[in-house]
A and B are shown apart, each in its own frame.
Chain A
Amino acid sequence: MATSKTPYACIGLAVTLLVWGSVWGLFYAPAETYMGDVQRIMYAHVPTAWNAMLALSFAFLCALMSLWRSEMAWDNRLEAALEVGVVLSALLCMQGAIWAKPTWGVWWDWDPRLTTTAVMVFAFGAILALRQFVEDPVKRATWSAVATVIAFADVPIVYFSVRWWNSLHQLQSSPETVSKAFHWPLRINAFGILFLMIGLISLRTRVAALRREEELAPPLPETAPRRAPIAEGARS
């Protein structure tokens, strides 16, 4: 069990970068021509989107490795990456809703990206739920890896079907046109969330590893003090 301080260093660096990038984005970057100040949400939203995709792609990689090598280490990483990916995707949906309200006038618009993200939250969140209900660690590892592979393969189909479905009603203008002045806060925050994600995933992997250790070798019953209450309970 590695107990190095690397995750904490990552998280510390991430916090520094995020504060720097956000202050720049909020107070020093110029307001966008059409979007006005609302555009500043993008400095948090776009980096979250990139890193959510990255975390879930890493989960997919872990699932493939877990199926191929059948090592518990990959299952621990899978659990960590799935959870971080789901949290980031859920956060992404909330930011998207907050951005949609002043821009499109509604909290939720059936924009393909927003909708696909919501579907992903449920698809990958369900795998985390599945893990809660399977006691056998080997089966849990295989099943969640299989489910992750299938859910990941499903994401492009969901995206295209929603895009097709929605494009029949309206065409959405995309806020991707970012000019030079907006690049720096975006990049700094992207690296900030990247380091935060790495730190959180590695810390969460340790939690998973410790739990797995407990499952595979449960704490031995202590001899004298533990027995008494059990015997009492059996008698009553």
Chain B
Amino acid sequence: MTHLLAALRKDFLLQWRTRAQAIAVYAFGASALLLFSFAVGPVAATLREHAAGFLWLGLLLSSTLTLAESFHAEAEQHALEGLLLLPVAPAALYYAKALANAAALSLMGAALIPVMVILYDAATPRVPALLGIVLLGSAGLSAPGTLYAAMTSQARARQTLLPLLLFPLVVPVLLAAVKATSLIIHGDPMGQIRSWSLLLVCFNVIHWSLCGLLFERVVED
């Protein structure tokens, strides 16, 4: 547990020190949201209807940049090998990195919400529920994303491979998060938000445990 905390501290420190890059990725996400509206056309009703989908696509696209860079520091100068020499369970390294990624993605998702509200006129009073979905969805993206980032950071063509591997896997996250966000914005007469959040929780439970279990095999030499 203390190992996890120490690793967590390292990863949050890394995130903080690379905040300039996080801001650049955020700008990328926001500009993606802007571009989606150009693709659909300036009809307010249509934009509002698809706001949730655009928000999550924007977050998904920017998440690949965040995730692909998350093992950058470790891949340089064999820092990961050095970390693995320490008497620390590799699972602790994984969970710390995944938690830091989840935090970074949630922050980015939360910061993209105002952009969505302004561009698509998709305001909602239920901000805590929206933030909860952003948190669950970000966690769902970062659990498999962190594991695949660890792999692809050592492979050639990592910028292409990571989204290629990740996108098919996170289809359930995208579906559930878009549906839940959309229901929050447009109202939920049949009370379906709970079931979509439950799906997100299930995805998270499965992937956080499975990826934590398998991470050791990915980084072993």
Chains A and B touch (C-beta atoms under 8 A apart): yes
Q: Which residues of A contact B (CB under 8 A)?
A: 67, 119-120, 122-123, 126-127, 129-130, 133-134, 139, 142-143, 145-147, 149-151, 153-154, 157-158, 160-162, 164-165, 168
B51 within 8 A of A: no
The chain B residue sitting closest to A145, CB to CB, is: B217
What CA separation (Å) do A130 and B169 show in the bound complex? 15
The chain B residue sitting closest to A161, CB to CB, is: B172
Q: Is the interface of A mostly helix, strand, loop or mixed?
A: helix
Residues of A within 8 A of B185 (CB): none
Residues of A within 8 A of B40 (CB): none
Total CB contacts across the A-B interface at under 8 A: 83
Smallest distance from the beta carbon of A136 to chain B beta carbons, Å?
Answer: 9
A147, B165: Cβ atoms closer than 8 Å: yes
A150, B203: Cβ atoms closer than 8 Å: no
A146, B218: Cβ atoms closer than 8 Å: yes
What CA separation (Å) do A153 and B143 show in the bound complex? 14
B171, A146: Cβ atoms closer than 8 Å: no
The chain B residue sitting closest to A131, CB to CB, is: B155
Residues of B within 8 A of A139 (CB): 154
Residues of B within 8 A of A151 (CB): 168-169
Residues of B within 8 A of A150 (CB): 144, 147, 169, 207, 210-211, 214
B199, A161: Cβ atoms closer than 8 Å: yes
Please give me the 4 A-B residue pairs with the lowest Cβ-Cβ distance, nearest first: A123-B168, A161-B172, A122-B168, A126-B164
A143, B161: Cβ atoms closer than 8 Å: no
Residues of A within 8 A of B207 (CB): 150, 154
Choose from B169, B206, B217 the contact partner of A142 (Cβ within 8 Å).
B217
Smallest distance from the beta carbon of A159 to chain B beta carbons, Å?
Answer: 9
Interface residue ranges of B142-176 to A (CB < 8 Å): 144, 147-148, 151-152, 154-157, 161, 164-165, 167-169, 171-172, 175-176
Given contacts A143-B218, A150-B214, whether A161 and B144 have CB atoms under 8 Å apart is no
Choose from A123, A129, A134, A168 the contact partner of B169 (Cβ within 8 Å).
A123
Smallest distance from the beta carbon of B113 to chain A beta carbons, Å?
Answer: 23
The chain A residue sitting closest to B211, CB to CB, is: A150
Given contacts A142-B217, A165-B175, whether A126 and B151 have CB atoms under 8 Å apart is no
Smallest distance from the beta carbon of A19 to chain B beta carbons, Å?
Answer: 35
The chain A residue sitting closest to B214, CB to CB, is: A146
What CA separation (Å) do A168 and B203 show in the bound complex? 20
Task: Indicate the member of A133, A145, A154 with the most B CB atoms within 10 Å.
Answer: A154
Residues of B within 8 A of A133 (CB): 155-157, 161
Residues of B within 8 A of A127 (CB): 165
Residues of B within 8 A of A129 (CB): 161, 164
**What are some 12 contacts across the A-B interface (CB < 8 A)?**
A126-B168, A129-B161, A129-B164, A130-B161, A130-B164, A133-B157, A143-B151, A149-B210, A154-B172, A157-B172, A160-B172, A161-B199
Smallest distance from the beta carbon of B178 to chain A beta carbons, Å?
Answer: 9
Residues of B within 8 A of A149 (CB): 210, 214
Smallest distance from the beta carbon of A168 to chain B beta carbons, Å?
Answer: 8
What CA separation (Å) do A120 and B148 show in the bound complex? 17
Residues of A within 8 A of B195 (CB): 164
B165, A130: Cβ atoms closer than 8 Å: yes
The chain A residue sitting closest to B154, CB to CB, is: A139
What CA separation (Å) do A143 and B162 show in the bound complex? 13
Residues of B within 8 A of A153 (CB): 206, 210
Residues of B within 8 A of A164 (CB): 195, 199
